[in-house]
Amino acid sequence: MDSIKLPSINCGWLQALTDDTGILQHAKSSIADRREGYTTDDNARALVAVLKYHRLRGAEQALQLARIYLSFLLHVQKEDGRVHNFIGYNRSFLDGEGSEDSLGRVLWACGYSQDAPIPEDFRMTAKEIFDKSLIWASRSGSPRTHALAILGLYHYAEAFAHDKNPQLNMIHLANRLCEAYRQESMSSWQWFEPNLTYANARLPHALFKAYQTTGKQDYLHIAEKTFEFLAANDIIQDMYQPVGNRSWHRRGGDRALYDQQPIEASCMVEAASTAFQATGKEKYYKIAYTVFDWFMGKNSKNIVVYNPATGGCYDGITPEGLNRNQGAESGLSYLLARLEMEALSKKEL
C-alpha cells in the first residue's frame, strides 16, 4: 500500500509546556501561558501519548514525563473518585468538579497504563485511580465518557485477562453506546447523537475496541456503520475536512467548515487504525493516511498544521488561516496521531 513519509518526532514543545506540576493548557504562539493553568484533560492525554511513545521507542525520558502526568491525575482525584479538571498555576482547584469528559480521559489514561511496559509501582498507582473512578462512568449519560472508559477498559482487560469484571464493564458501556445509536440513527443519519460535535471518532473507535475484546458482532456492525458515516461527512474529494466548531453539524442542517481542530483529525486517525486492526480492510488504512495528511497540508487551506520547528501543532484552521497558538491539546493530538501512524505502518498488509 502507498504511504506518506512520516516526519520525525520532536518532543521539544512537550518539554517546554511541562513543568513539575504537569502540562500547561495553553500557549501564546509556542510560549507556555502560565496564566491559563492546567487541565486534567490535557494531562491524561499527555500520559497516553508518552506511554505510547515509550512503548514504540523505549525512551526513558518519556517515563520521566509520564510520572509527572500520573502524579497530576493522582492530585486531581477527589475522595469519591470524581476529578477536578481546571487547576491554577498555583496548583489550586478552579472548579468544584470536572467535566464527565475529564473523568473519561482519566480512565483512558490509567487503563492504558495497565498493559504498558512500565514499573510496577507506576502501574499500581494508575490502577488505584482507575478503580476508584470507574463507577462514575456507568453513572454518566455522556457517550464520550462511555467511549473513553471503554478505551481504558480495553487495556485493563488485556492486563488482567483472568478477571471478567473489566469485560463486563466494557459490555455495559458499549451496550449504552449501541442503544444511543438505535435511538438517534436513521437511514440518512447513522450516528449516536443528533449532532456531530467534537472528538466524534472516539465513539466508533470505542466500539471497535469493544469488539476486539468481546467478539460481539453488534459492536463491529455499529462501529463500521457510524465510522463510515463520519468519514463520508468529513472526507470530501479525498481531503479531510472535519466539522467546524463554530456551529457543529446538526442533523438536517448545514455543517460548519471552520474552525477545524487537530483533535478531530487525531481521533479519526486512531479510530481508522483500530478499524483496520479489527477488520483487516484496506479502506480503513487509507482513511488513516488521508486524515493524517490534514496535518501535513492537505486541507481546505493548503497549510501545514504541524510545526516542525517546535514539534508542536497549531491550534487549528480558521477561515483566515492558521490559529498560530500551539497549546497542549493540539500538540498532543498531533503526537497521538503521529504515533498511531507509526504503529499502523508496522502492521501493513
Q: Given a cut of 60, is residue 334 above it in pLDDT? A: yes
In 10 A of CB 34, how many CB atoms? 14
Please name the amino acid found at residue 263.
I
Q: What local confidence, expressed as pLDDT, does residue 264 receive?
A: 98
In 10 A of CB 79, how many CB atoms? 6
- Answer CATH for 12-345 from 1.50.10.10, 1.10.3720.10, 1.20.120.160, 3.40.605.10: 1.50.10.10
Average of per-residue pLDDT across 248-274: 96
Beta strands in 190-331 (DSSP E): 195-196, 235-236, 239-240, 249-250, 316-318, 321-323
3-state DSSP call for residue 24?
strand
As given in the structure block, the three cell numbers for residue 218 are: 453488534
Stated length of the chain: 349
Q: What local confidence, expressed as pLDDT, does residue 345 receive?
A: 87
CA distance 38 to 18: 10
Cα–Cα separations (whole angstroms), residue 53 to 10, 17, 165, 174, 248: 11, 17, 29, 28, 32
- Which residues are 38's β-sheet partners? 24, 87
Q: What local confidence, expressed as pLDDT, does residue 59 receive?
A: 84
Q: Given a cut of 80, is residue 3 above it in pLDDT? A: no
Q: What local confidence, expressed as pLDDT, does residue 2 receive?
A: 52
Average of per-residue pLDDT across 100-125: 97
Confidence tier at 206 by pLDDT (50, 70, 90): very high
Please name the amino acid found at residue 99.
S
In 10 A of CB 252, how many CB atoms? 8
How many angstroms from the chain centroid is the CA of residue 114? 17
Average model confidence (pLDDT) across the chain: 96
CA distance 162 to 166: 10
Reported as a single tens digit per residue, the pLDDT across 284-328 is 999 999 999 999 999 999 999 999 999 999 999 999 999 999 999
Domain range annotation of the chain: 12-345
Q: What local confidence, expressed as pLDDT, does residue 39 receive?
A: 98
CA distance 301 to 294: 10
Reported as a single tens digit per residue, the pLDDT across 77-95 is 999 999 999 999 999 999 9
In 10 A of CB 281, how many CB atoms? 13
